[in-house]
Structure formats: structure tokens, C-alpha cells
Amino acid sequence: MMRDDQGMTEEWIVRVNGKEYGPADIETLREWKAEGRLLPENEARQANVDLWTTAAEIPGLFIAEGPPLSAEWLVQQPPQTTRCSFGQILAVTFQIYLKGFFQFLFLTLLVLGPSICSQLTTVVAQTGQRPEFDLRMLAVGSFAFLMSVLSIVMTPIYIAGIQILTAEIAGGRRPRFVAAVNRAVRFWPRVAALCIFVYGVFFLLMIFGLLIAAIALAGASSLLLILFAMALLVLQVWMFSRFFINVLFWQQFAVLDNAGFIDALRESRNLARSGSDLPWFQRPLWLGAILASIWFAFVLAITVAPEWGTLQHYFNELMTTQNPQALLQQFTETQQAHGFDVSTFGLGILERILQPLLGIAFVVLYLDSKQHMSH
């Protein structure tokens, strides 16, 4: 325990959201930090000194924990001169996931639990559907809708929680789940706003791609329309790639770097474009793109595999049909008649349980890239 020159224990006063707490000794401050109630950027001062600083400056509280990235795989080589290879990033990602498996699982259940309730309730509502108005069916539908909303509301906490848990485990610490969630809740407004912006832009770009496909189908017999659709496709790919670069590391900067809305996007772009002196396969941009591509290929595989035969049949029909709209309607009716698929449902749950791996990999890449960027 720290003592001043007179042998008295040092006590501190902290200011959080405009309210002052204390005096408190270093042990109490460590408890507040572990509970997520005290962050490095919170104001603090010694009880007998009227000079405010930040909690990050309190000796032995935050600084003593060392740099955020001190994993065993960097012990053999100095971090200032050696970057992580792609294989090392994957290895550390799985190490962190296994070390914190139950924390990541509980964090995933914050989003997955309401989503499962919504899906199962919707299935029950569809199987028990009646032609006349039924209060019971209305209640079931309302519950399913509320569970869907709850799952969406919990998503920013889930995203921030992955960043916090990964950084703590990578730093050699043992995070407590409740404390990590409490810290993640503090980032909800910022992460939610960035989610709306980032995923909203990606959604609009997808709509733009569907419009291009519609133009291509409508102008199948017109060379001019086909060329116009190809030009729009090139524009869509360019916009998608540019935006992807700008938002590659927004989650990490918004949470781990405590950057604001604009700063998180700007710093994400700068980090993604860094390493221009390196071979392309060692640059943060390409490593991030490869990680994202591997994950999306996995998701596509487990999504398409159960329906591959059906999709192949309808694709062949699409190439020969003269009425694509009727074929689309037939496909929709077939899917509705197919009903609840246990295998598809199970694969969806597996995907969500493994999804933290992507977030962990990006945190590891972020920590390594930023560490070398600062040197």
C-alpha cells in the first residue's frame, strides 16, 4: 500500500460523471476499477491536494499493469522489431478464445439468447396460426418482436465486451465477466451510433448492388443497359472497398482507444493504411481483409451447404426461365412450406458461438499493428 512522506496512507478522490467519490485508498480504487466503475480517463486527485489529474496517473492502479499486449508468443522476439505473422495472429486468437471461452460464451448469450427466443416463438406462432384474430397469437408475436429488439439493443454491449475481454486476456490478466460487461455498457451510446452508421452504409451498398442486378436482368437483351450495369457495378465495388478500409478497426478505436465517433473512423482509416513500407501480406489492411474473408467464407459455407441442392436447382431454372418473377415466387413459397429446419437452426447457433473469434482476431491485429505504428 502506498504511503506519503509522513507514513500516512495516500487517499484519492475521483470524479465520475460530475460526482466525487472518496477519499479512497489504492485497494479500494482497484476494487472500483475491477468492477468497471473507475476508468483511466476519470478525473482524480489526492485527498490533500487540490490538483485534478486522471485515474490513469495514479501510481500502481493502471500503469503497473503494463502494455495491453504482452502475450507469450512475443517473448522470444522484441515487439519493436518483429510483427506478428498471419499464423501467429490465428494462433493467439484461438488461445485467447479458449482461455476466455465461458466469458465469450456468456457475452454471446446476451445477444443470442433473445434471438433464439424470438425465432422459436415465431415458429410456434406460425404453426399455431389461426385465421381469426387471437389475443394469444398477438401476445406471442409481440414477445417475438420484443426479443428481436432486445437482441439488437444488446449488440453494442456484445461488441464492446469482446474488445475489453480480449485486451484483458492478451495482457495476461483474468477479467471478471460482470466487470467487463459494466465497462462495455459505458460505451453503448458511442458503439450504437457507429453500428447504425457503419452497418447502415453497408446495407445501402447492398441495396445498390441489388438494383444493379435488377438493371442487368431487365436489360438482358440491351447491350447499352448491360454496359451501364457493369459501370455501376465497378462504382459499387469501389465504394464498398473504400468504406471497408475506413471502418476496418472502428470497434477497437471506439472502445480500447476511447475515441469519439469521428476520431474512431479517422484513426481506423489511418491504421488500415499504415505499413506501406511492408510487403502487402503484412499490412494491417490486407491482414484484416483476409481475416474477414475467411470468416465470411465460413458463414457462407454453413449457410449454403444445407440448401446447396435446392439452390443449384433454382439457379439452373433461372438460366432457362422466361419468367424470373414466377420462379422467385415459387422459391419463396417452397421456403415457407419447408418450415423450421433443426440443422439450419443448429448451424446458426454454432456460427454465433464462434463469432467472437473474428472480433478477437481483429483486436490482436489492432494491438500488434498499433504497437509497431507507435515505434
Predicted pLDDT at 129: 53
Question: What is d(CA 310, CA 176) in angstroms, rounded to the nearest whole number?
Answer: 46
Predicted pLDDT at 70: 39
Beta bridge partners of 20: 15
b (16+ CB within 10 A) / e for 203-229: eeeeeeeeebeebbeeeeeeeeeeeeb
Nearest to 187 by CA among 214, 162, 217: 162
- Residues 304-331: tens digit of each pLDDT: 766 666 666 555 655 565 555 565 565 5
Q: Amino acid identity, residue 118? A: S
Predicted pLDDT at 80: 43
Question: What is d(CA 21, CA 19) in angstroms, rounded to the nearest whole number?
Answer: 7
Sheet holding 12-16, edge to edge: 19-24, 12-16, 43-46, 53-54
Q: Amino acid identity, residue 117? A: C
Predicted pLDDT at 105: 96
Predicted pLDDT at 158: 96
Question: What is d(CA 8, CA 13) in angstroms, rounded to the nearest whole number?
Answer: 16
- E strands, the chain, where? 12-16, 19-24, 43-46, 53-54
Which residue ranges of the chain lie beneath pLDDT 70?
1-9, 62-82, 124-134, 219-221, 305-341, 372-375
Can you give the residue ranges of every domain in the chain? 12-65, 86-186+274-373
